[in-house]
Structure 1
Amino acid sequence: MLSHLRHLLIDSWFGRILVGLIFLVFISWGAETIIDTWSHQDNNVVAWVGSKRVTVQELDSAANMQLQQYAAKQGLSDKSQLPNGMKASLITQALQQLIIENNLLLTADKSGLSVSDEALRNLVFSFPAFQQDGKFNRELFNLYISQQNTTETQFLKMLRNQLALSGLTEPLVSGASASDIMAKNIFGFSNETRQVSYIQVPFNSFKPSASPSDAILKRYYDNHLWDFTVPEFRKVKLIFISPETVAKGLEVSDQQLLQYYNSRKNDFQKPESRNLEIVTVKDQKAAEDLATSWKTATWESIQQQTQKDNGFATTLAEFTAQSSPSAELADAVQKIALNTVSAPIKTPMGWSVFKVTSVVPAHEIAFDTVKSQLKTELVQAQAKQAFANNIKTIQDVLAGGEGLDGKLGGLGVVAVEGTLNEQGLNLEGDPAPIPSDDKVKQAIISDIFSKAKNAPPSLIQGDNNTYYAFVVEDITPAHQETFEQAKDRVLKAWQQQDIKKQANVAVTAIFKQAQDSHKPIQNTGNQQFTIKESDAFSRVNPSKTLPPELQAQAFSMQMGQTTMFESPDSFYVATLNNIKTPTPKDNPTAYNDLKDNLAQAEANDIYSSYIIFLNAHSKVDVNQQAVDAIIKQVSY
């Protein structure tokens, strides 16, 4: 059911660009319109769109869904772990989505578009998730409504609105197309392949010259003083806390886990499902050939044949109608006999052929199977509650002047101390062990180098629901090393420069020979530096062996032209020896996909323009106090 709705309502052009339009809405409405003076005086309404209302409950529901989805994308277990600023931004985006939808619904009403009860009923009855033995089952429908924490009225209203929106917007974009001239030019540009003959001269092929005298090293030191400056170092004591650090100190008993399992027993009742082998290709004829071959061929050979057809083959374990990517596939799987190859079926991904290899009876997932999962969930739930309490305790301790040596034990705090520079490196040149991701770590380091020595610590909120506090105990200012202090480093730097100079001389000779002779590069007779031929590479399918910068340069070169290029570890000299611009006949599937994508982009532009037009002629009032109340409730 969810996948069917996702395909119908979200995986369409309408859903994909709805969020992007939010930013266009701000432009077309302007700040004065979107935060207009509230004139309707209804505390249960957050926005009026003409005669339509966006209620507090609607925004609360949409915002919670958006927050949870964003948290999941960020790898967070709960929306509460999001920074307050991000929560406010996402709630505002959710409001703009609701305003756009209501603006479209208002236009549909004015246009006389309506969805009959019969059309709505037929849609509901067609969902595989609500069917048993091919017929609508009221109990399955009621179960779904209950699981979604909604009511039948709300669910049917949502479906009716989406059907109305489709009726309004589909005709606008149905004529979108891409011209052959544009498609051919883009196809040729993107898929043009080039090949080069090249010689690589690695720096490590050379050894330093004889040891230089102190006079030479001193001169090198004087000419590169900036390379031998010691940066400022700071000695710090730091504490760090997050829901994850709190969770590490929590334990739950088997008895608690069993109680939790029993309270959620319905979640572990699995319906009958099927295990599938399935292949998907773009072309119907290829799918028909696969279906014919599969009747006698093995799964392994079918996988190989699918790969040759530029498709993909996979297995789907415990497939159900609810997990199906399309209603057509769900219906076909339900009807087909065991170990029978299906006829090709049109799905959102192309043309699919499948075989049901086994049927998994309805069953209950045993406690021991999900024990680890339940433990993680319970610990995370307890950590979430403890985290908020621990933050308050830490703030009280720091406010009382007890510092980082105060009563912070048992709060899930990670404490570290050491010396680091502004690049986050310790005295040995290794990364300082700050217990956070790179983004938070950079913020911590920035704060450390902006605070005075021995300034009292305060708890600072970072990204991803993290908090930290620190004291700068000592500061060693940046200073210039003397030649004697830096002599070992000076020698190493001089040797690296000498090696690079030798490599440069060698590669320049190869390049100059090609330039003087007006011919491609030639073998030098040195077995270390032989000519190699690259594979064909394109802008959409780059080479895995050539440096990206050399490939980019190759696309600006003329046929037969030679260039010299430096990478971090080598010099390259290369001659462009082949250019091939493909035509649509070379890869009709890729060309047709490109035309479809271009047509989709044009449809998106048409839809965006229509939304901007509607917004320019609409009246929107926002109850900012109600919106702020929801933001405050979610943030604290």
Structure 2
Amino acid sequence: RLITEVALDQEAGQLGLAMSDETVQRLLASEKVFQGADGKFDAMRFKQIANDAGFSERGFLADQKNAYLRKTLTDIVVAGVEPPKLMVEAIHRFRNESRTIEYFVLPPSLVGAAATPSDEELKKYFDEREQTFRAKEYRKLTTLVVSPSAIGKPDSVSAEEARKLYDEVKSKRYGTPEKRDVRQIVLKSDSEAEAALAKLKAGADFDALAAELKLNPKDINLGLVEQRDFGDAAVGAAVFALSAPGLTEPVHTAFGTVVSQVKSITPAVYNKTFEQAEPELRAEIAAQRATPEVRKLHELIEDQRASGKPLAEAAKAAGLETQVFEAVDDAGNDRSGKPIASLPSGPDLVKAAFASDIGVDNDTVATRDGGYVWYEVEGIEPARQKTFEEVKEAVADAMRSEAAQKALAAKADEVVAKLNAGQSIEEVAKELGLQVQRANDVKREARPDFNTNVIVQFFDVAPRNAGSVVVDNGRLVFFVRDSKTPVFDPNSIESKTIAQQLKPALNNDLLEQYVGGLEKALGVDINQRALQAATGAERDR
């Protein structure tokens, strides 16, 4: 950074760039960091910041003058730079290309069970991969959780309270609220509104009446709106009181009298009924009520710990119980390699526990709902190399699995060759007794039916060609039926957004090249010994 600044200072000097003290003072006064609560330049704040940075007032002004000159120079370098159309189009194609994929999965059963390896083969396999069969380090943990969700009592929450919360949050959490396509006109008086309503009821066209009243079409057409979108609650209530599309009675507001027309109604769609959501809503309300109790228990337990009591005794004094986990590895799994679902605060607790030791008084780990987890490391079982006899069965399983994968890969290669030779995927699947499936509109983005690696493989194969990839239940063989890319429009919102996202990176690349050129022209050379001496690296040797 220092070399870059010096290089730019040298270039600014050679170009004769300069800036008056008055200009520097004006620019500094406009910096928000030097402004007070009233938005005006605060001289005392300026002096304090300068002093904290180790500058006198004059020295700070000189430093900032150089900074402004450097910025002027770099702004000139990148001024007017726009991402090339070809680059934007390439990203547009990458993001929007979609493919139709036909596929089926070759199950492991298709290649039969692998032969049972001999003891000599097992031993050789183990010797070549013994690091794979190491026992991980395990820690025995005692934990105590005090959090709103842990001590809350959902049974104490009434159904009426849960129903009230459901009505408040259902639109945001559980689906889409009812929407109505609404148009409205605002008249100066109630009498004008009554006359307008009479015309509409008699068959007058809403748009024609709005034009007659010289109203802007943009002001009358609200589009699809929810009840909460209305600035005046009375207008919203009148609009959503209609049981079918039609006209509302005039509603008097602070801005005039409103007549609304509901053109269509889009019903609400919810993916959870109250009965389905009731248990979690009761738990949420109970947790909110338990928050004050959490604070009290935290103070009580901390007092007990400060007096030197073990965690189990501190918990007992607070009327609580600890939980013991006999063996936890650094990934939060038990000895069988399965995740421990009941482990409080999950990864955060594991990270803290493996950074601690036996007998250490640890800080609490926070829970997501604002609670606390106390923990003690009761024992440590070090990682170790397992013997061949311990893992013999696991080695045999690994060998059989590897052999099956190789056989399945060979079978997939054979199938792919048939597809690329022109045989239809339906024919090949029928020969194997498998069912072809189709995935439409597959893009380079996450999907619930395919993981990222599978999607990458879909796009590594040319259209009208086949390929295969490993999946959890075997090997997926696929055929790229077609590939489509929307027409590139450089003036679309998406294209402009892509260009805007590219611009900072493009500017940085250009500035790096420019500064690199300056340093080369100036003959910049770093004395490594001097640098090591300055940073203390030489003394550390």
Relative to the length of structure 2, the TM-score reads 0.52
Summarize the Cα distance change of 1:604–1:51 in structure 2 as closer, same or farther, 3 Å threshold: farther
Q: 2:115 aligns with which of 181, 190, 210?
A: 210
Give 1:415's aligned residue: 322
CA distance, structure 1, for counterparts of residue 41 and residue 417 of structure 2: 77
Q: What does the per-residue CA deviation read over 1:534-557, in whole Å, with 9 as the maximum and x for residues that have no partner?
A: 343242898765555343333344
Q: What does the per-residue CA deviation read over 1:457-487, in whole Å, with 9 as the maximum and x for residues that have no partner?
A: 5544455423222222221111111111111
**Which residues of 2 match residues 132-281 of structure 1 at below 5 A?**
190-248=95-153, 278=179
Q: 1:555 aligns with which of 432, 452, 459?
A: 459
CA distance, structure 2, for counterparts of residue 527 and residue 551 of structure 1: 26
- Stretch moving more, 531-540 or 415-424: 531-540
CA drift at 1:416:
0.8
Letter in 1 for 2:138: F
Q: What does the per-residue CA deviation read over 1:271-301, in whole Å, with 9 as the maximum and x for residues that have no partner?
A: xxxxx975669xxxxxxxxxxxxxxxxxxxx
1:394 correspondence with 2:289: no
Letter in 2 for 1:211: T
Q: 1:324 aligns with which of 228, 246, 253?
A: 228
Q: 1:490 aligns with which of 395, 398, 410?
A: 395
CA drift at 1:568:
3.2
Q: What does the per-residue CA deviation read over 1:363-406, in whole Å, with 9 as the maximum and x for residues that have no partner?
A: xxxxxxxx999997985565222222221221111111111132
Question: SS in structure 1 opposite 2:238?
Answer: helix
CA distance, structure 2, for counterparts of residue 564 and residue 602 of structure 1: 35
Q: 2:290 aligns with which of 383, 386, 410?
A: 383
Summarize the Cα distance change of 1:426–1:406 in structure 2 as closer, same or farther, 3 Å threshold: same
CA distance, structure 2, for counterparts of residue 218 and residue 522 of structure 1: 44
Summarize the Cα distance change of 1:571–1:491 in structure 2 as closer, same or farther, 3 Å threshold: same
1:580 correspondence with 2:488: no
Question: SS in structure 1 opposite 2:311?
Answer: helix
Judge conservation of contact 2:356–2:377 (CA < 8 Å) in 1.
yes
CA distance, structure 2, for counterparts of residue 562 and residue 429 of structure 1: 36
1:404 correspondence with 2:394: no
CA distance, structure 1, for counterparts of residue 495 and residue 247 of structure 2: 31
CA distance, structure 1, for counterparts of residue 461 and residue 414 of structure 2: 20
Judge conservation of contact 1:195–1:533 (CA < 8 Å) in 2.
no
Give 1:293's aligned residue: none
Question: SS in structure 2 opposite 1:475?
Answer: strand
Summarize the Cα distance change of 1:463–1:505 in structure 2 as closer, same or farther, 3 Å threshold: same
1:342 correspondence with 2:246: yes
Summarize the Cα distance change of 1:218–1:460 in structure 2 as closer, same or farther, 3 Å threshold: same
Give 1:106's aligned residue: none
CA distance, structure 2, for counterparts of residue 405 and residue 476 of structure 1: 22
Question: SS in structure 2 opposite 1:205?
Answer: helix
Question: SS in structure 2 opposite 1:402?
Answer: coil
Judge conservation of contact 2:348–2:365 (CA < 8 Å) in 1.
no
CA drift at 1:196:
3.7
CA drift at 1:198:
3.8
Question: SS in structure 2 opposite 1:442?
Answer: helix
Judge conservation of contact 1:338–1:356 (CA < 8 Å) in 2.
no
Give 2:254's aligned residue: none
CA drift at 1:327:
4.9
Question: SS in structure 1 opposite 2:432?
Answer: coil
Summarize the Cα distance change of 1:187–1:341 in structure 2 as closer, same or farther, 3 Å threshold: farther
Question: SS in structure 2 opposite 1:244?
Answer: helix
Q: What does the per-residue CA deviation read over 1:430-479, in whole Å, with 9 as the maximum and x for residues that have no partner?
A: 3335453xxx3211111111212222455444554232222222211111
Letter in 2 for 1:353: K
CA drift at 1:341:
2.0
Give 1:424's aligned residue: 332
Judge conservation of contact 2:149–2:286 (CA < 8 Å) in 1.
no
CA distance, structure 1, for counterparts of residue 500 and residue 475 of structure 2: 47
- How many positions carry a matched residue from both structures? 357
Summarize the Cα distance change of 1:387–1:223 in structure 2 as closer, same or farther, 3 Å threshold: same
Identity of aligned residues (%): 18
Q: 1:49 aligns with which of 39, 42, 65?
A: 39
Question: SS in structure 1 opposite 2:431?
Answer: coil
Summarize the Cα distance change of 1:518–1:188 in structure 2 as closer, same or farther, 3 Å threshold: same
CA drift at 1:496:
1.2
Q: 2:416 aligns with which of 511, 525, 528?
A: 511
Letter in 2 for 1:485: E
Give 2:350's aligned residue: 445
Summarize the Cα distance change of 1:327–1:421 in structure 2 as closer, same or farther, 3 Å threshold: same
Which has the higher Rg, Structure 1 or Structure 2?
2
Q: 2:473 aligns with which of 569, 575, 583?
A: 569
Summarize the Cα distance change of 1:445–1:566 in structure 2 as closer, same or farther, 3 Å threshold: same
CA distance, structure 2, for counterparts of residue 416 and residue 324 of structure 1: 47
1:534 correspondence with 2:441: no
- Stretch moving more, 550-559 or 476-485: 550-559
Letter in 2 for 1:420: V
Judge conservation of contact 1:520–1:561 (CA < 8 Å) in 2.
no
Letter in 2 for 1:558: A
Summarize the Cα distance change of 1:236–1:190 in structure 2 as closer, same or farther, 3 Å threshold: closer
CA distance, structure 2, for counterparts of residue 232 and residue 506 of structure 1: 40
CA distance, structure 1, for counterparts of residue 429 and residue 266 of structure 2: 62
Judge conservation of contact 1:235–1:475 (CA < 8 Å) in 2.
yes
Judge conservation of contact 2:102–2:478 (CA < 8 Å) in 1.
yes
CA distance, structure 1, for counterparts of residue 233 and residue 87 of structure 2: 35
Could you list the runs of 5+ residues in structure 1 that have no partner in the other structure? 1-28, 41-46, 53-179, 261-266, 268-275, 282-313, 345-350, 358-370, 585-590, 607-636
CA distance, structure 1, for counterparts of residue 328 and residue 280 of structure 2: 39
CA distance, structure 2, for counterparts of residue 395 and residue 195 of structure 1: 61
Summarize the Cα distance change of 1:507–1:400 in structure 2 as closer, same or farther, 3 Å threshold: same
CA distance, structure 2, for counterparts of residue 604 and residue 510 of structure 1: 43
Summarize the Cα distance change of 1:524–1:405 in structure 2 as closer, same or farther, 3 Å threshold: closer
Judge conservation of contact 1:245–1:412 (CA < 8 Å) in 2.
no
Judge conservation of contact 2:332–2:343 (CA < 8 Å) in 1.
no
CA distance, structure 1, for counterparts of residue 136 and residue 280 of structure 2: 47
CA drift at 1:227:
2.3
**Which residues of 2 match residues 353-368 of structure 1 at below 5 A?**
353-354=263-264
CA distance, structure 1, for counterparts of residue 104 and residue 439 of structure 2: 14
Question: SS in structure 1 opposite 2:374?
Answer: strand
CA distance, structure 2, for counterparts of residue 372 and residue 218 of structure 1: 54
CA drift at 1:417:
0.6
Relative to the length of structure 1, the TM-score reads 0.45
Judge conservation of contact 2:100–2:440 (CA < 8 Å) in 1.
yes
CA distance, structure 2, for counterparts of residue 424 and residue 49 of structure 1: 51
Q: What does the per-residue CA deviation read over 1:563-583, in whole Å, with 9 as the maximum and x for residues that have no partner?
A: 332223322343433223445
Summarize the Cα distance change of 1:352–1:529 in structure 2 as closer, same or farther, 3 Å threshold: farther
CA distance, structure 2, for counterparts of residue 383 and residue 566 of structure 1: 49
Give 2:51's aligned residue: none
Q: 1:501 aligns with which of 406, 410, 422?
A: 406
Letter in 2 for 1:422: D
